[in-house]
Each structure stands twice: as C-alpha cells, then as structure tokens.
Structure 1
Amino acid sequence: MKLVEPPSCSSLSTIVFIGRNRRGQWVAQEQNGLYGGLFVSRAQAIKYALFENGQHPETIIELPREIELDMSRRPNTAATQRAA
C-alpha cells in the first residue's frame, strides 16, 4: 500500500504563486505562506501547487518577476482555523 501525504490546505482554493528566484530555481508559494517549496522545473512547481491546492489550476498565478520562498511568515488566524 502506498502512503500519500494529504494536501496542506483546506478544501477551499487558495492562490499559489509560482516563478523563479534570483538563483533560477522555481518557487511555489501559497499566498498566506501556508506552504511552499523550491523546484528544479516549472512542471514540478505546478504539479506541487496543484496537489496542495486541491487540483485548481485557475488559482495558480505565474509571476513575471522574481519570487523568493519565504517560510518565515505566519499564516493569519482565519486561514489556520479554516484549514483545521
């Protein structure tokens, strides 16, 4: 049996930004900082974003400017309560 980690977000769709950082790595980051990661390809960043946001491609926004992964932000209380 293969174990699969459940998505980090609730069933409500959230915006996920993807783009490249200054080192050329692909970044995927949820708008409130609930989840994110670094990827070697755009395809992997999109695959991750789709998994985490419940398969909602319409909520993925590719940024034309640099984006840096910021895991130091604290999610707001309302978003945390919805996810619980």
Structure 2
Amino acid sequence: MKLVEPPSSNKSATALVLIGRNSRGQWVAQEQTGLYGGLFVSRAEAMKYALFENGHHPETIVELSRTIELDTEGRLAPVGLLYGKRPVA
C-alpha cells in the first residue's frame, strides 16, 4: 500500500501557485501566501507537486519568468505586484 500525504488545504484550489527558478537554478513551487511550497530539480516535478497540492487545478498555476526564491516566512508579493508572469499551458 502506497502512503500519500493529503493536500495541505482544501481551500488551496482557489489560491495561485507560483513556479519558477531560484537564483541557483532550482525549480520552486509555492502557494502565493506561503501555505506550502518546495524546491525541485525539474519543472515537471514542480508542476506535479503544484497540481497535487492545489487539487489538480492547472488554471491556478502561474509560471514566473523572473527569479523566485522559496519563501519560508510568508513574505511573497501580492499578486498585483508580480511582473513577468505567464500562464502555464
């Protein structure tokens, strides 16, 4: 039997999940308020995590063209301040 962690929050489907590369080239996936997030070796793994955590809602995932650092203290910029964002296909 495979053990699987439940999504972090039932409300996470309505929040944006930001993905992009950090200054060291690692992939970051993080919910906009910092509820959940992680570092990944590939875009595919970051997307897989984001989809699992947000209840499989690809329309709430935004891939950033700018550098994004994993925020462990809940200091991410409000959505209106995100520059260079592009929707994930």
TM-score bracket relative to the smaller structure: 0.7 to 0.9
Residues 16 and 28, structure 1, Cα contact 8 Å, conserved in 2: yes
Q: Tell me, which stretches of 5 or more residues in structure 2 are unaligned?
A: 76-89
SS of the aligned residue for 2:74 comes to coil
Following superposition, the deviation at residue 4 of structure 1 comes to 1.0
Tell me the alpha carbon deviations over residues 4-47 of structure 1, each in whole angstroms, 9 at most, x when there is no partner.
11000215512100000000000000001000000000000000
Runs of 4+ in 1 over 4 A off after TM superposition: none
CA distance in 2: counterparts of 1:32 and 1:66, whole angstroms: 17
Task: State the partner residue of 2:74.
Answer: 73
Task: State the partner residue of 2:26.
Answer: 25
Count how many residue pairs are aligned between Structure 1 and Structure 2.
74
Task: State the partner residue of 2:2.
Answer: 2
Normalised to the residue count of structure 1, the TM-score between the two structures is 0.83
Normalised to the residue count of structure 2, the TM-score between the two structures is 0.78
Q: Tell me, which stretches of 5 or more residues in structure 1 are unaligned?
A: 75-84
Query: Structure with the greater relative contact order (CA < 8 A, sep ≥ 6): 1 or 2?
Result: 1
Q: Among the aligned pairs, what percent are the same residue? A: 74
Task: State the partner residue of 1:79.
Answer: none
Task: State the partner residue of 1:77.
Answer: none
Task: State the partner residue of 2:46.
Answer: 45
